[in-house]
Structure 1
């Protein structure tokens, strides 16, 4: 993968940052996109030491998606890989139908589903010119089982999974498009809402509920993402890989509207 160029949205923190580090280790230069985490993104670009750059863009806006793609071309002369990692949610019990309104659905859908489409569209011309271009969308088990942090979040990730399959079909053979669907991932999304002691207990509980006895971390997701981007995976497109430490094997657990 040495010499390739990638864009990772939401690349300054969490899963995105773990993907950037793994790609850099494979010789890939990255455009580390951020919306507000400027310090983290710039520090990560400096950490990689391979010419990767941090670029601010609100990818819910189509014009900024196109500008982000142009920044990658200006910096590296190519775009080979795209990881659509940015996302948002609103925590709301699935049973509480009054916890969400139309604007919540639109805001979540705009970033979780429309923005990845806009990024793929913006990058497609350059990616079609490459020898082994690939996209990975970060979906969620919520989009498979209808659970997760809210009904709106699950619906947006379900739409992202369907879109992955649609675009894999129409962009082949030039561009492969796959998705990963993580379950729980121990990022700041959870740890910043709890004390260190409460977070440790929470992760121990999560691990106890999975066949692998594992509370996945960002790097556990980044590894499979990079594997899907690797040209060695050229026979894989239109796939959705569940990354939940086997929790989906427990039918009872998959039916409960827990966090996904």
Structure 2
């Protein structure tokens, strides 16, 4: 008799950390809904890799800042597989601006970043929580050292990830014992997201400075973050309310990530 595969919903699953996490969970026996908002081609490529690893995969566009989209994503999972074991809130946006550029940050930009990163995570939890409780499942929020240390690409990004961290702690209490809730908080990740934010030259300069300043002298790869997420999803049975710093010891060295 074949054991029924578990099911995970990954927001922002087309690229970077989301795609790496989808592939790793596929290899560990999960079926997957891979969500994207803009990266349709990349999401399909992510899904193809997961199918080759043995997973049944559904690709679905949705903007997590819109509650109706969040509810549609959750419903699609139940319609296809009848269960949901893990929610990975990975979708995120930012702008890159230093303190001297605060005046360039208008309310619309600030609200958009909060809407995707913080409100979007909450809305996804709300849409999925009944199904996660039924499965005795788990939630992993992809946060950032920005929310833990107060440093990062921009003020709205820092605020949004601080909100994600606070929600993680609250939800871990509120949803126990049925659902475990944790967050991963990476430092610099070697993805195109950072390159797009600061340009190739800025990325290379920032990466060099970061690796020179942190105790482990290396940045995170998407696969590094995915491994931590997969452990929190598929293991870590006694872990909830954890904000797991994946920063190569940056919090020990007092080094700010490049901006």
Length-normalised TM-score, structure 1 = 0.92
Secondary structure of the corresponding residue to residue 129 of structure 1: helix
**Which deviates more, 205-214 or 81-90?**
205-214
> Are 1:86 and 2:88 an aligned pair?
no
The counterpart of 1:77, out of the listed 79, 82, 99, is: 82
Residue 7 of structure 1: aligned partner: 9
Asked if 1 retains the 8 angstrom alpha-carbon contact of 2:209 and 2:258, the reply is: no
Secondary structure of the corresponding residue to residue 238 of structure 1: coil
What do the CA deviations read for 1:183-233 (whole angstroms, capped 9, x no partner)? 1001111234534x7755543332111111112111111111111111x31
Residue 250 of structure 2: aligned partner: 247
**Which deviates more, 133-142 or 87-96?**
87-96
Measured on the aligned residues, the alpha-carbon RMSD in Å equals 1.7
Equivalent-residue separation in structure 2 for 1:218 and 1:2 (angstroms):
28
The counterpart of 1:98, out of the listed 78, 99, 103, is: 103
Residue 127 of structure 2: aligned partner: 122
The counterpart of 1:17, out of the listed 7, 16, 19, is: 19
The counterpart of 1:36, out of the listed 18, 38, 41, is: 38
Residue 206 of structure 1: aligned partner: 210
Equivalent-residue separation in structure 2 for 1:75 and 1:242 (angstroms):
34
> How many equivalent residue pairs?
253
Q: Unaligned 5+ residue runs, structure 1? A: none
Residue 184 of structure 1: aligned partner: 188
Asked if 1 retains the 8 angstrom alpha-carbon contact of 2:8 and 2:33, the reply is: yes
The counterpart of 1:133, out of the listed 134, 137, 141, is: 137
The counterpart of 1:225, out of the listed 229, 241, 254, is: 229
Secondary structure of the corresponding residue to residue 96 of structure 2: coil
Length-normalised TM-score, structure 2 = 0.92
Which of the two has greater helix per residue? 2
Structure 1 segments (4+ residues) deviating >6 Å: none
> Are 1:66 and 2:65 an aligned pair?
no
Asked if 1 retains the 8 angstrom alpha-carbon contact of 2:187 and 2:219, the reply is: no
What do the CA deviations read for 1:92-124 (whole angstroms, capped 9, x no partner)? 112433121222221110001001100011011
The counterpart of 2:168, out of the listed 130, 142, 164, is: 164
Asked if 2 retains the 8 angstrom alpha-carbon contact of 1:92 and 1:149, the reply is: yes
Q: Unaligned 5+ residue runs, structure 2? A: none
What do the CA deviations read for 1:147-186 (whole angstroms, capped 9, x no partner)? 1011111011001100111111111111111001111001
Q: Structure 1 residue 258: deviation in Å? A: 3.6
What do the CA deviations read for 1:63-95 (whole angstroms, capped 9, x no partner)? 110000011111211110000000111111124
The change in CA–CA distance for 1:74 and 1:105 in structure 2 (over 3 A counts) is same
Equivalent-residue separation in structure 1 for 2:224 and 2:113 (angstroms):
25
Equivalent-residue separation in structure 1 for 2:202 and 2:149 (angstroms):
27
Secondary structure of the corresponding residue to residue 98 of structure 1: helix
